[in-house]
């Protein structure tokens, strides 16, 4: 996902769940697509890139267990200081509530 139009469509039409460190949007579809959003509220470019790397890493780690569809991960400020395993547990729980995670 790259265009603002795609992100806007997901924000308006997808199911979403909040965790302490991210908001996850999921819309069922025929292929897996993913987008990551990190606002300037999170911090400078170094901090935003760190947050994106964490989210990207989580997605790649969990990708095999995820259903087909479009995912958007929006970082919250807590992602910078949270333990990686705690973030992972929160994301898995949110994905299960979205019925996007298959064990």
Computed over every residue of the chain, the mean pLDDT equals 95
Domain that holds residue 41: 4-96
State whether residue 29 is helix, strand or coil. coil
- 1 pLDDT higher than 90: no
Please report whether residue 83 resides in a domain.
Answer: yes
| Predicted local confidence at residue 2, as pLDDT | 87
- Asked if residue 62 belongs to a domain, the reply is yes
Each residue's pLDDT tens digit, 40-78:
999 999 999 999 999 999 999 999 999 999 999 999 999
Q: How many domains does the chain have?
A: 1
What pLDDT score does 12 carry?
Answer: 96
Q: Is residue 40 part of a domain?
A: yes
User: Could you tell me if residue 102 is inside a domain?
Assistant: no
Residue 43 lies in a domain: yes
Q: Kindly state whether residue 103 falls inside one of the protein's structural domains.
A: no
Residue 103 reports pLDDT greater than 80: no
Confidence of residue 16 (pLDDT cuts 50, 70, 90): very high
Residue in this structure with the two tokens 């890139």, named with its chain if needed: 49
CATH of the domain at 41: 3.30.230.10
DSSP 66: B
């Amino acid at each position: 996902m790259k265009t603002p139009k795609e992100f806007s469509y997901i924000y308006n039409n997808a199911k979403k769940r909040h965790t302490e460190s991210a908001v996850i949007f999921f819309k069922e579809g025929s292929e897996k697509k993913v987008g990551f959003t990190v606002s300037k509220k999170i911090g400078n470019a170094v901090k935003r890139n760190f947050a994106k790397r964490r989210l990207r890493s989580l997605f790649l780690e969990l990708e095999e267990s995820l259903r087909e569809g479009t995912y958007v991960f929006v970082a919250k400020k807590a992602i910078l200081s949270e333990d990686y395993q705690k973030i992972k547990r929160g994301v898995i729980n949110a994905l299960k509530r979205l019925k996007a995670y298959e064990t």
